[in-house]
Amino acid sequence: MQRLALTIFVSLACLGFVRADDDLDKLITPAALKKKLAGKAVFNSKTGELTLTYDLSAKDQLKDFDLGDAKPTLAKGVLSLEPGDSVQHLVKFRTLKLTGMFSAGKLMGDHLETTGGVKVVGGGTLLTGIQDKYAESGFNTPRTTTPFELIVAEKRVAVAFGAKKGGVAVDGTALAGHVRLGGGAGGNQFSKLVFTGAVDADWAKNFFKD
């Protein structure tokens, strides 16, 4: 049976050190979260982590994504993306844990990506850069809904689809950045998305300043 191998690529150019910022708890208030974000949002001032939950039951939740030219659809709590399309989440994270449910139309294509240099693709392709770092995870068949997890921690990047897991250690502190959900080569579906991570302080100060 054919198996989808997924590759994580980490660029050294996107590695940096996490800074604590005691002012974020004054800026990221419940009122500010409700005003600026459509997902169910909770900010932990002690850890600097923001958790955003999307049941994708309403189109208003798409306001938290930059759609670009993509035309995603929502139906019964499922976000569907056309082949080759992608949407980018508004929040910029320093660290990230993204969980949800995933279904790929085909085994090839770009599935998940962060602007910090992490990419999950089909076909087992190794993406090379200044530093070659990759790990393989995968699932056996397309069009099968599978729980997934993507982690971008200070010293580790990892991906899991169901029980299949892969990860690598990274030199320095990995920057997650913005998350992009991709349509792959055959159209992908995402549901029950939960983003958790320390937010980028500079991004937060600009985003929540109003």
Nearest to 207 by CA among 33, 66, 88: 33
Is the confidence at residue 95, as pLDDT, over 80?
A: yes
Task: Quote the CA–CA distance of 11 and 132 in Å, as a whole number.
Answer: 8
Confidence tier at 165 by pLDDT (50, 70, 90): confident
Is the confidence at residue 20, as pLDDT, over 80?
A: no
Nearest to 110 by CA among 120, 102, 123, 98: 120
Class of domain 6-207 (CATH, top level): mainly beta
Q: Which residue has better confidence, 15 or 55? A: 55
Is the confidence at residue 106, as pLDDT, over 70?
A: yes
Domain residue extents for the chain: 6-207
Task: Quote the CA–CA distance of 131 and 125 in Å, as a whole number.
Answer: 15
Q: What is the pLDDT of residues 181-202, one digit of tens each?
A: 999 999 999 999 999 999 999 9
